[in-house]
Structure 1
Amino acid sequence: MSAISVQNVHKSFYTYSSEWARFAAWFGAPPKLKSQTDILKGIDFSIAPGEAVGLVGQNGAGKSTLLKIITGTMQPTKGSVTVNGRIAALLELGMGFNPDMTGRQNVYNSAGLMGFTQDDIDGLIKSIEDFAEIGAYFDQPIRVYSSGMQVRLAFAVATAVRPEILIVDEALSVGDAYFQHKSFSRIREFREAGTTLLLVSHDRSSIIAICDRAILLDDGHVRKDGAPEEVLDLYNALIAEKEGHLLEQITDASGRVQTRSGSGEATLETVRLLDETGKPTELVRVGSRVTLEIVAKVNTDIDQLVAGYMIKDRLGQAVFGTNTHQLGQVQQGLKAGDIVRFRFAFDANIGYGNFSIAAALHGHETHVEQNYEWRDLAVTFSVVNADHPEFVGMAWVPPVLEVER
């Protein structure tokens, strides 16, 4: 049995030709419409109990509408949603709060709407106040709260008791760094205890670190449902997609899915990782000197060319990235047929494990504008610790130790 099952869900918003036409439609008369806007166009997926799923997509893809339908605050035009378990949802910032009531009063009001009794809330109020950490503002009207304080209170209420299903929209992104860490620690605790999670975020690291899989919404459809890294790589490519651009995902010999996108004015001829002797390598020692070589071919005359790369860990989280725009080495006035070789030399001060490198060619500071080619998994390599003291983590940042007694 699924915790959440979404079956053929459609959602359309109508503009009627008149108020009489709207009224008549309530009683089954054929609708007379000025316009119809289709937001969701047949959404199908299910989430198993205890599973964590990330929901991503560009603005206007239908994410917030879908969440409102799942939580029951909006009805679908067509299709059905089945939910098995108590939902706690943190959607729009401050949704359900009365601005003229104090934080404490809003806790009683919101928790009551969630089904808690007065005695339940009396027993929880101290822990909610402690977790929110808003001090004297707890007894001040919500209207004097900052957006971050509203998030603190809303999250504290929604997670006062571990829910069977937790749905979190982008609201946490407005909180301060300390509270974001605190909130995600609680989310991880709930996950370990069996809570089903549906997380909407533009933060790649959050999705990859927490979620078992991800769903990409695009123009009201499920564009891809799969491993977080594959879905997020496709989402990254979609952001820069324009009409006529290449956009493909292929499975390499190791079974990993590689995403390529771009307009083709310049293309990646070769991408290689070289060791200290200049030979291609897939095995790197911690701290050793390596060179990333990117060879670009210019296919049409272009004003400028930027080359960049991103090192990612085995889960797809960014380790380090830069490009020639940020390094002050933009190439100007290139002609069709030109070949440009870029060599990025650096010390591999990263922890041991498996890594990949995404390479990109574009015309501006980032690939979002004038994306000539973006290629994920352009290089894969492993880092081993052959000659340094044992350590843990993603980075090699050795300290100079002094001890006094």
Structure 2
Amino acid sequence: MGTINVTGLGKAYKQYPSRVSRLAEWLIPFSKPRHKLKWVLEGLTFLVRPGEAVGIIGVNGAGKSTLLKMITGTTQPTVGSVQLSGRVAALLELGMGFHPDFTGRQNAIMAGQLLGLSVNEVNELMPEIEAFAEIGDYIDQPVRLYSSGMQMRLAFSVATARRPDVLIVDEALSVGDAYFQHKSFERIREFRKGGTTLLIVSHDKAAIQSVCDRAILLKGGRLAMEGKPEEVMDYYNAILAERENQTVSQSVAEDGRVQTVSGSGEASIVDVSILNAREEALKVVEVGAPVTLRVRARINAPIERLVLGFMIKDRLGQPVFGTNTHHMQQALTDLRAGECVDFKFAFNANLGPGSYSVAVALTGSENHLSENYEWRDLALVFEMLNVSCDVFTGSVWLNPVVTIGKEAE
């Protein structure tokens, strides 16, 4: 079983005001430093326990890839330490270590040796590597002829040919086609069931929330938040839209979930509820029942344009359905301070049994990345109950009609 123990980790690079200063520092020993330290990561401490899956998220430049390079030993930290246990397999920069003039098979053998496998072991695993990569005859062609997706297929196949104790994956999987991404994440899930410890960097919210037990948010080279994937991703989405005079706050709801609220405040959410035909608020909804989602908003300052959006999520925080009044050609204009607006969305609740939540947003455009007046996660939590529909699995009730025909021989 593998573990990752990061303690007080930091990475800084020297910055010189000029080339002359750099040369002078080299040539004049014991002189005063002529550089300043630029810290790209500072004060990171966390533990990934055996069999745990942790996702690392953050905007570009937050230090995610630098962190993985220090964990795997390809870059040395300025301060702090990293302790790894177990056999480690890492998939960092796409094709890192591949020689463009060697064939895919030759590169696979060399990459396998870097992972601690012998040549004989790699040769024994080669049929499985070829089958999983699915690049056909290109396995015996120079890597310089490969597309980025083919390089990723081969690199991932080699790194995961034998289940490691620790698997570390950077954004490399994002360049692959949808089919291979599904195939790769299925292998990762199988490894998790077998006890592999996983550390993954991805901007894919669905991947983080479906695979990981915990998420870590990096901001400006520091650990900004650590917790359940849904909570961290909600906070991450909020700070993506962070602007002057905008606030981001989190609070613990009655059911123990962490609710994230952000926005500049020109408009605010007053109430969110699901109503039946008699306009009674529901906490439990029957599968397939006609319902209305009502959102009441207050206008706190003059607004030229107002868009309301909502997102229904399952218990893991995965989006099930979302839309907004911009896409429905129902955006409002020229609103005055003091007005209240009721938005009503009528639909059949064709959702599977289980717990769901609703996130709502008041914005000036089609998304919350600009003019975010208020974004509220977990604005409403409700249960779906199957009373009268046929038994089914999944998060969507399709109500299929089956036709069966027989022909005599």
TM-score after normalising by structure 2: 0.95
Deviation of 1:99 after TM superposition, in Å, equals: 1.2
Deviation of 1:365 after TM superposition, in Å, equals: 0.6
Deviation string 1:279-300 (CA, Å, 9 cap, x unpaired) is 1111111111111111111111
d(CA) in 1 for partners of 2:157 and 2:113? Answer: 14
3-state DSSP of counterpart to 2:112: helix
Question: CA 1:264–1:105 in 2, change beyond 3 Å: closer, same or farther?
Answer: same
Pair 1:14-2:14 in alignment: yes
- Counterpart position of 1:64: 65
Q: 1:6 corresponds to which letter in structure 2?
A: V
Q: 1:397 corresponds to which letter in structure 2?
A: L
Does the CA contact (< 8 Å) of 2:251 and 2:260 recur in 1? yes
Higher mean C-alpha displacement, 329-338 vs 160-169: 329-338
3-state DSSP of counterpart to 1:112: helix
d(CA) in 2 for partners of 1:127 and 1:246? Answer: 52
d(CA) in 2 for partners of 1:10 and 1:239? Answer: 24
Question: CA 1:30–1:90 in 2, change beyond 3 Å: closer, same or farther?
Answer: farther
Pair 1:354-2:332 in alignment: no
**After superposition, where does 1:27-46 map in structure 2 within 5 Å?**
30-33=32-35, 35-46=36-47
Pair 1:261-2:262 in alignment: yes
d(CA) in 1 for partners of 2:151 and 2:276? Answer: 52
Question: CA 1:28–1:271 in 2, change beyond 3 Å: closer, same or farther?
Answer: farther
**After superposition, where does 1:266-345 map in structure 2 within 5 Å?**
266-345=267-346
**After superposition, where does 1:174-323 map in structure 2 within 5 Å?**
174-323=175-324
Deviation string 1:316-359 (CA, Å, 9 cap, x unpaired) is 11110000011111111112222221111111111010000001
Deviation string 1:66-116 (CA, Å, 9 cap, x unpaired) is 000000000111111111122111111111111111111110111122221
Deviation of 1:22 after TM superposition, in Å, equals: 5.5
Deviation of 1:250 after TM superposition, in Å, equals: 0.4
Structure 2 runs not aligned, ≥5 long = none
Q: 1:186 corresponds to which letter in structure 2?
A: R
Does the CA contact (< 8 Å) of 1:2 and 1:46 recur in 2? no
d(CA) in 2 for partners of 1:10 and 1:121? Answer: 36
Does the CA contact (< 8 Å) of 2:299 and 2:338 recur in 1? yes
Deviation of 1:243 after TM superposition, in Å, equals: 2.7
Deviation of 1:10 after TM superposition, in Å, equals: 1.1
3-state DSSP of counterpart to 2:163: coil
Higher mean C-alpha displacement, 270-279 vs 150-159: 270-279
Deviation of 1:38 after TM superposition, in Å, equals: 1.4
d(CA) in 2 for partners of 1:338 and 1:280? Answer: 23
d(CA) in 2 for partners of 1:58 and 1:269? Answer: 31
Q: 1:51 corresponds to which letter in structure 2?
A: E
TM-score after normalising by structure 1: 0.96
d(CA) in 1 for partners of 2:25 and 2:128? Answer: 47
Does the CA contact (< 8 Å) of 2:355 and 2:382 recur in 1? yes
Does the CA contact (< 8 Å) of 1:267 and 1:299 recur in 2? yes
- Counterpart position of 2:384: 383
Pair 1:147-2:178 in alignment: no
Deviation string 1:206-240 (CA, Å, 9 cap, x unpaired) is 11111111111111111111111111111111111
d(CA) in 2 for partners of 1:338 and 1:317? Answer: 33
Does the CA contact (< 8 Å) of 2:2 and 2:165 recur in 1? no
Kindly report structure 1 stretches of 4+ aligned residues shifted beyond 4 Å: 27-30
Does the CA contact (< 8 Å) of 1:21 and 1:31 recur in 2? no
- Counterpart position of 1:119: 120
Does the CA contact (< 8 Å) of 2:2 and 2:51 recur in 1? no
Count of residues in correspondence between the two structures:
403
Does the CA contact (< 8 Å) of 2:283 and 2:383 recur in 1? yes
Deviation string 1:303-328 (CA, Å, 9 cap, x unpaired) is 10000100001111111000001111
d(CA) in 2 for partners of 1:202 and 1:28? Answer: 45
